[in-house]
Structure 1
Amino acid sequence: MASSTHTDTNTNHNEDHLIKHVTEQWNELNKNLEHLPKFQNKNQTGVNEECIKEIESKLKIALPKEIRAVIKVHNGRKHIDYGLGYQLPTTDLLPISEWKPYEKDNYEFPEDLFQCLANKDNACVDKNLYDDAREHLNVYLKDFEKTSKQENVNKLANNETFQSLPCELLIVGQGLDDYAEQYLLSIRSGRIYLAIHNIPKWTLIGTFADWIQKGLTHVKEQIEELKQQHEEIELC
């Protein structure tokens, strides 16, 4: 019993440390956006453990610890208008209730991803991304060899083997609609990718902390554009 109590204490301590660290990251980005309140997320509260477990159970996944801490501080926000091009976590992270499996809910997009992964010379492919999609890729390619592209896309929707595979990539954010930008979370590694589907192109963002740092860079580099769009945009 003492050992169990000690383990629980360490777990709680580690989670508290993560939440404190994530809070500091959110605060740093919000501070740099203090003159652009529409692009902050100060009014978005976090979710509780019960809500997270409900989503994990529904999707049959276990979210990475860092991401759990992220949404316990701020639970994303509704998509802004037609999306913004600044790749800020404060504007592009969706509420957890809108997160969905990439492989199963967007049949036209996985086709692009799988063909991208099948091309070993493609610069956007790395080992982690390939490992994430390996089983899905194998199922896809077996069907792809037998049918045309269009038939294959339709077939995946009813492919029991494909549908039974656990989610490896989770859509957690949305950017510009014109470019069909989505943020994909790797369940396995906790890495975040930006998928631009109409090119198609996938780029690695990295950890949530990396996303924050990229956002800070974009604020500094695009401050005038941010100010102009901030004045023009209408939020619901």
Structure 2
Amino acid sequence: MTRTPLIAGNWKMNLDHLQAIATVQKLAWTLKDARHDFDDVEVAVFPPFTDLRSVQTLISADKLPIRFGAQDLSQYDSGAYTGDVSGAFLAALDAQYVIVGHSERRTLHAETDEVVAAKTAAAVKHGLVPVVCVGETGEQREERGAGVVPVEQLQVVLDAVQPSEIVVAYEPVWAIGSGQAATAEQAQDECAAIRRGIAAAWGDEAAAATRVLYGGSVKSGNIAGFLREPDIDGALVGGASLDVQEFAAIARFRQHVGL
């Protein structure tokens, strides 16, 4: 089964709304000049909340083929939840995606697997595609074995939604922001374990149709190795997504290596 690769740029807490406009414009021009086929490799950016309206207006007005999403959402639709942003608000901005359960949210904001599942269900309810992040620390990987913790995290989510409604992103927490990436073989082993976990819960056909991304110090110099692996369907890119030329080179991995 063919799964369209997704190259997703998580800007984290970087770029104000004016910088966001300039970045998306430059990215669109760079990929257009390179004759990038957006139907062959999907490209999405995930700006901060304060940039979303500006990015949405630009993409809509200029009919840009770049997709966009938010970095988080509330599990609640409305109410006395100061600082939260609901899926309904994101859907009203025509966002297509939302990141859920990123390791930084799990660590810095103490988000549990149950909260991640609730947020995932809220995203699906409002027509958004959640990019559900799962992963493990180096200590967890050493003590429990490769693939165990990510699959357990995902199983809680799959009790709330169907795999056809989500994208999964594997994060080796020990690699994020370190400049050190998992090897392609390690990433493949983890993503294959995730796919087996989906198959155990929902069957082989559902597992074969679900996109699984790798996210952990992804760069133009290593993306081809990851995307050659059979169970890796794209990348959740962090710091490198802030550099337009670098992010465009990641998105154009097929042209570089003939994949």
**Same-fold call, TM cutoff 0.5:** no
Relative to its length, the structure with more strand (as a share) is 2
Q: Which has the higher helix share?
A: 1
Q: Which has the larger Rg?
A: 1
Normalised TM-score (structure 2): 0.30
